[in-house]
């Protein structure tokens, strides 16, 4: 059996028809059937992709602990490594307690210190933890 060029597979040549031992009408019908199956295969692939996404989301959501903060709660803000105070190995990981002034649904918090001075920027719930006094 000889090698067949991809062009010859797409365009029915005498050699391809003779090797498959099909009549030209049967060969055209088989190609037409393959084209009809492409849509079904595409939909099947989409269904598998969506099922995969659901499984991954379920596994991720299982590990996530929702954090909800309310106004007036005490929290400690994490010191980020780019800040000047965090250059020593034994430096604290969290700053002094803050009071939650306002909590937004997206996870942003506006914090004030114990004197009532508001921080310049809102912080995300990922960088705070509850302070138990």
pLDDT higher than 70, residue 12: no
Q: d(Cα 51, Cα 3) in Å, to the nearest integer?
A: 39
At residue 83, the 3 state secondary structure works out as coil
The owner of tokens 């099909």 is: 22
Q: d(Cα 72, Cα 102) in Å, to the nearest integer?
A: 8
pTM of the predicted model as reported, rounded to 2 decimal places: 0.52
Q: d(Cα 72, Cα 53) in Å, to the nearest integer?
A: 38
**Measuring CA to CA, how many Å separate 122 from each of 79, 105, 132?**
15, 13, 22
Q: How confident is the model over 23-61, as pLDDT tens digits? A: 777 777 877 888 888 889 999 999 999 999 999 999 998
Q: What is the pLDDT of residue 55?
A: 96
What integer is the mean pLDDT of 70-91?
76
């Amino acid at each position: 059996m000889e090698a067949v060029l991809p062009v010859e597979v797409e365009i029915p040549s005498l050699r391809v028809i003779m090797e498959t031992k099909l009549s030209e009408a049967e060969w055209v019908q088989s190609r037409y059937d393959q084209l009809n199956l492409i849509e079904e295969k595409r939909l099947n692939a989409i269904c598998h992709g969506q099922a995969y996404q659901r499984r991954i989301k379920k596994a991720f959501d299982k590990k996530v602990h929702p954090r909800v903060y309310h106004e007036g709660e005490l929290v400690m803000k994490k010191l980020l490594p780019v800040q000047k105070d965090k250059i020593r190995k034994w430096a604290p990981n969290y700053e002094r307690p803050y009071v939650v002034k306002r909590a937004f649904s997206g996870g942003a918090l506006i914090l004030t210190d114990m004197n009532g001075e508001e921080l310049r920027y809102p912080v995300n719930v990922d960088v705070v933890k509850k302070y138990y006094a």
